[in-house]
Homo-oligomer: A and B are copies of this chain.
Amino acid sequence: MEILKFWEDKERIERILDRSNINLIDEEIKQKVEEIVSEVQKSGDGALLKYIELFDGVKLSSFEDLKVKPNELDEAYNLVNKEFLGSLELAADNISNFHKHRSFDSWRCPYEDGVILGQCYRPIECAGIYIPGGRAPYVSTVLMTAIPAKVAGVKKIILCTPPNKDGQVNPYILVAAKLSKVDEVYKVGGAQAIAALAFGTLTIPKVDKIVGPGNIYVTLAKRIVFGYASIDMVAGPTEVVIIADECGNPKFIAADLLSQAEHDPLSLAILITSSSDLANFVIKEVESQSKALSHQEILKHSLKNLTVILTKTLKEAINLSNQIAPEHLELHIKDPWEILEDIAHAGAIFIGEYSPESVGDYFAGPSHVLPTCKSARFFSPLGVEDFLKRSSIISYTKQALTKWGKEIINLANLEGFDAHANAVKVRLNEEATNPA
């Protein structure tokens, strides 16, 4: 961990910020994923059972075992710690309230000559949520994906997650799924889960949109099936940028950098500050706080990506952050609201020193499914919009078509589409391609 100076170390800073190599795809993994997706598309449930045995180390005895049964859900409630249940319910309420804030109402507007134009909003019918396996149950991700879908009005929400070696799903995941009103849970993970959701199998219904994070296999599979179903985004390793001035609290900042760093060896955690005193204090704090944390194996790698960059002005810091387009941006400065307009690209913006990323990851309300690797330039946090679609409405009248028909005929003829022109002509009783 060291301090780079924005005005001296441009080249090294560029190299650290360049996340483009993260998008590079290993050709071997890509072929493997294509093979998995294609086999699930062809052989359905049979392929799922094969891959579950291969990757999750458990032999499910029949296709019916893919689906979590009502009694497994009931049992889950007996297995979870009730204190945790309370926290989960509070978080669920916050997430639900935040996503209800903005309404998406269909509209129709009358124009001259009886013309009506508008847009209909409709929820997609069926959403698929992917929740990764791993040592711990990612309950927050269940809430952060399923609740926006439910608020949008999605009729059916399907969740896929890999089973453990006993063929079970973690009870906390099941309880979180129940709380978020997920309709069906299936014991399948990885690229095979994504393929099952996109194409459907005898057991698993085909969905319209697939959301949720996953490893490189899941991400590649989502790219492959995009178009058969919609997907939320192409996600990479997680990132935080913290902009701080001399008022910043080094303990808070160090803790937040470390909470980013514990996620993934490739996590990026960057402090940008104009105060070299603060920079030095933060580095000391990171060193001391990191010792007592559990994920030492991950931290060993990710602490190398923990960078402090000194700038001369706040404006420089903001420009640098915009160039990074970080997933998470924390503002530990005197007047954070003042500069909000200047933040061009960021997934979630945390304002002030009492808004650590953890608040957003677990509790505040906005989804923690956020764009990474510069894609905050064009992707948005997962939201209600992701589960809605629009239809345009066009209603013309004889009067309007009589008035504007000539223009439409002009444009259709220019593009060489005489049948399009004819569709207007037959209605205006002009000389149409119509011998009658």
A362 pairs with B125, CB closer than 8 A: no
- Pick the residue among B288, B355, B358, B432 that contacts A435 (CB under 8 A): B288
> Which stretch, A5-13, A69-77, A157-165, A396-404, touches the partner chain B?
A396-404
Contacts of A359 in B (CB 8 A): 394, 396, 401, 408, 424
B259 pairs with A411, CB closer than 8 A: no
Contacts of A391 in B (CB 8 A): 343, 345-349, 376, 380-381
Contacts of A426 in B (CB 8 A): 251-252, 255, 289
Nearest B residue to A341, CB-CB: B120
Contacts of A380 in B (CB 8 A): 389-391
Q: Quick one: given A223-B226, A227-B223, A358-B412, are A256 and B366 in contact (CB under 8 Å)? A: no
A258 to B424, CA, bound (A): 12
Interface string of A408-428 (1 = CB under 8 A from B): 101110111111111111110
- Any B CB within 8 A of the CB of A188: no
8 A-B pairs within 8 Å (CB atoms) are namely A84-B414, A136-B414, A229-B378, A358-B424, A361-B412, A362-B412, A376-B389, A381-B391
A414 pairs with B137, CB closer than 8 A: yes
A361 to B424, CA, bound (A): 12
Interface string of A180-212 (1 = CB under 8 A from B): 000000000000000000000000000011000
B394 pairs with A390, CB closer than 8 A: no
Q: How many copies does the complex hold?
A: 2
A411 to B415, CA, bound (A): 59
Interface string of A72-93 (1 = CB under 8 A from B): 0000000000011011101100
Interface string of A110-145 (1 = CB under 8 A from B): 000001110110101100000000011111100000
Contacts of A397 in B (CB 8 A): 352, 354
- Any B CB within 8 A of the CB of A234: yes
A252 pairs with B427, CB closer than 8 A: yes
- Pick the residue among B227, B355, B400 that contacts A396 (CB under 8 A): B355
B87 pairs with A411, CB closer than 8 A: yes
B226 pairs with A259, CB closer than 8 A: no
Contacts of A414 in B (CB 8 A): 84, 136-137, 139, 172
Besides the known contacts A87-B410, A361-B420, 15 further A-B residue pairs in the complex with CB atoms under 8 A apart: A101-B117, A120-B340, A120-B349, A125-B377, A227-B233, A229-B378, A255-B426, A258-B419, A292-B433, A352-B396, A362-B407, A362-B411, A362-B412, A363-B404, A367-B392
Contacts of A291 in B (CB 8 A): 433, 435
Nearest Cβ distance between residue A252 and chain B, in whole angstroms?
6
- Any B CB within 8 A of the CB of A434: yes
Contacts of A349 in B (CB 8 A): 120, 391-394
- Pick the residue among B84, B285, B348 that contacts A410 (CB under 8 A): B84
Contacts of A54 in B (CB 8 A): none
Q: Quick one: given A117-B364, A252-B427, A393-B349, are A259 and B417 in contact (CB under 8 Å)? A: yes
Contacts of A354 in B (CB 8 A): 396-398, 400-401, 427
